[in-house]
Every structure is written in C-alpha cells, then in structure tokens.
C-alpha cells in the first residue's frame, strides 16, 4: 500500500487540526462548536480507518454529495453529528437497514472505532465523515435531501462565556432546516439541563418545525435511540437526560 494511503488516518487528523490563515497570513479565528481532543489513536483504529476508508469514508468536497451514487439506493438518509465512538450509530444502522446513515465526527479515534465496529457487524448502510459538520452541511449536503438529523450529547460548553460555542444556535438550525425534507425529524439529546432549555428555546423559535412532545417540551427517551455507556453511567449517578424531537412542517 502506498504511503499516502497508509497515512490517510493521520492526514484526516491533521486536517481537522489545521490552523486556518487569511490571505495575508494572519490567524483566522473561528468559533468552533467542538474541542479537538487529543486522545490516543490506537494502531488498530488507525489501521481500520486506513484499510476501510474506501468502503465507509466520505471526504469533504466543495460540491454536493449524490446519495444514490454513494449508497446505491434511494432510501432515506439520516445524518448524525458527533457520533463519539460510533457504537450507537452502528446499532441504529443495523436496526434500520431500510435507511442510510451518515455520521460526522472530528475525533479520529472515534472514526476509527466506528469503522471497525461497522466492519465487524457487516454494516452496509453507513458512511462516516471526519470534518467540521457546519462545513459539510454548507458545501456537501443537498437542500431538502435529509430525512432526519441527530445530535446526541454535544459539547455543552457549560460556562456562560462559552455558550456562543454551542452548536445549537438559530443560524445552525436554519441551515439544518434547509437540508431537511418535509416531514423530516430533528432529534437532539443532552444531559445538561441548561443546554436542554437552550435547545428547546431555539427549536420552538423556528416556525418551520413542530414539537412532537405531548407536553410541548421534551419526550421520554425513545427506544430507537440506543442507550450509551456514557448515558448509563449518568443514570447511575442520578443525572437527567433530555430528548427533543421536532419535525419539519
């Protein structure tokens, strides 16, 4: 295998860490919704990412994805932002073979782990992206093409001075809405009550969405959202979890 193929995983890692400069060489400050974690990238995760990127990976491009060409069918496409290590995303793909899933994650060990599990389980209806989600939405996702968007346990940026870094903001939701088909869903979940309240406020302010909650706020955790180890630990510690599920009118 050629060196550039062997180092694909490391190239992806560098891409999401690259400092962007203006034309005159000054640092371009961006308000990111994520923190680049420098967790250990195991040899196994790196190898799975290198060896199976052709099957599961999608690269950023300044043109729209052709979902039919990517998946070989016209099944509904669900996009998940920030899938962590990918276990719940793979479980959902297995449970719903009539749907196609695309996951975005900037943490390369998580991308490698997700691909490894997908290979182990023989999953065919899943693709992963290692890039900034907002750029993917802006450049790669066709308008009115998604049947759903999932965002589970995003970075809460719990300090008030960091709230502007939260990914769920009015501008982000407007962008998401433009990518959803009529009747498509938006499903958010968080274990930070303050962030849940913020999410609810942003979602309710969007006239193009309707809340499926019987109480017009949160829904009980649905069976179709797999329970993660992170969430199980939170339950043991008495932490709450808030699910929000809206549909596009």
For 80-125, the pLDDT digits (tens) are: 999 999 999 999 999 999 999 999 999 999 999 999 999 999 999 9
* Tokens 């491009």 found at: 61
pLDDT of 205 above 50: yes
pLDDT value of position 174: 97
Do 155-169+181-248 and 76-141 fall under one CATH topology?
yes
Nearest to 96 by CA among 58, 125, 134: 125
pLDDT value of position 233: 77
Integer Cα distance of 83 and 180 in angstroms: 19
Residue 19 or residue 61, greater confidence: 61
Report how far Cα 137 is from the mean position of its chain's Cα atoms: 11
- Which residue among 155, 217, 223, 243 is the active-site one? 155
Integer Cα distance of 227 and 108 in angstroms: 22
Q: What is the pTM of this model?
A: 0.86
- Structure tokens given for 239: 């932490």
Q: Does 14 show up as a binding residue in the annotation?
A: no
pLDDT value of position 26: 44
CATH topology of domain 76-141: Rossmann fold (3.40.50)
pLDDT of 17 above 60: no
From start to end of the chain, where are the E strands? 57-58, 77-81, 100-104, 126-129, 146-152, 180-190, 209-211, 242-248
**For range 167-195, the mean pLDDT:** 96
Q: Does 30 show up as a binding residue in the annotation?
A: no
CATH topology of domain 155-169+181-248: Rossmann fold (3.40.50)
**For range 197-211, the mean pLDDT:** 97
When mean pLDDT is compared across 113-127, 144-158, 199-213, the lowest value belongs to 144-158
Q: Does 228 show up as a binding residue in the annotation?
A: yes
Q: Does 67 show up as a binding residue in the annotation?
A: no
* 223 noted as active-site residue: no
Residue 112 or residue 15, greater confidence: 112
- C-alpha gyration radius of the chain: 18
pLDDT of 29 above 60: no
**What are the residue boundaries of the structural domains of the chain, listed by start?**
76-141, 155-169+181-248
Interhelix angle 193-205/170-179, nearest 10 degrees: 60
Q: Does 191 show up as a binding residue in the annotation?
A: yes
pLDDT value of position 84: 92
Residue 8 or residue 234, greater confidence: 8
């Amino acid at each position: 295998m050629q060196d550039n193929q062997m180092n694909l995983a490391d190239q992806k890692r560098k891409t999401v860490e690259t400092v962007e400069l203006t034309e005159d060489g000054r640092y371009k400050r961006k308000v990111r919704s994520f923190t680049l974690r420098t967790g250990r990238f195991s040899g196994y995760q790196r190898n799975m990412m290198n060896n199976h990127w052709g099957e599961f990976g999608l690269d950023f491009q300044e043109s729209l994805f052709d979902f039919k060409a990517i998946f070989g069918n016209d099944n509904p496409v669900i996009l998940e932002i920030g899938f962590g290590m990918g276990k719940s995303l793979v479980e959902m793909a297995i449970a719903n073979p009539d749907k196609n899933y695309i996951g975005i994650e900037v943490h390369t060990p998580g991308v490698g782990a997700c691909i490894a599990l997908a290979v182990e389980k023989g999953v065919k209806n899943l693709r992963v992206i290692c890039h900034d989600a907002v750029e993917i939405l802006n450049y790669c996702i066709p308008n009115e093409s998604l049947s759903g968007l999932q965002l589970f346990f995003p970075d809460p940026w719990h300090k008030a001075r960091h709230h502007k870094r939260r990914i769920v903001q009015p501008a982000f939701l407007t962008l998401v809405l433009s990518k959803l088909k009529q009747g498509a869903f938006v499903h958010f979940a968080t274990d930070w009550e303050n962030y849940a309240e913020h999410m609810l406020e942003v979602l309710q302010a969007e006239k193009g969405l309707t809340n499926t909650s019987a109480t017009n706020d949160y829904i009980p955790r649905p069976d179709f959202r797999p329970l993660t180890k992170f969430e199980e630990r939170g339950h043991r510690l008495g932490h709450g979890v808030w699910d929000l599920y809206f549909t596009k009118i």
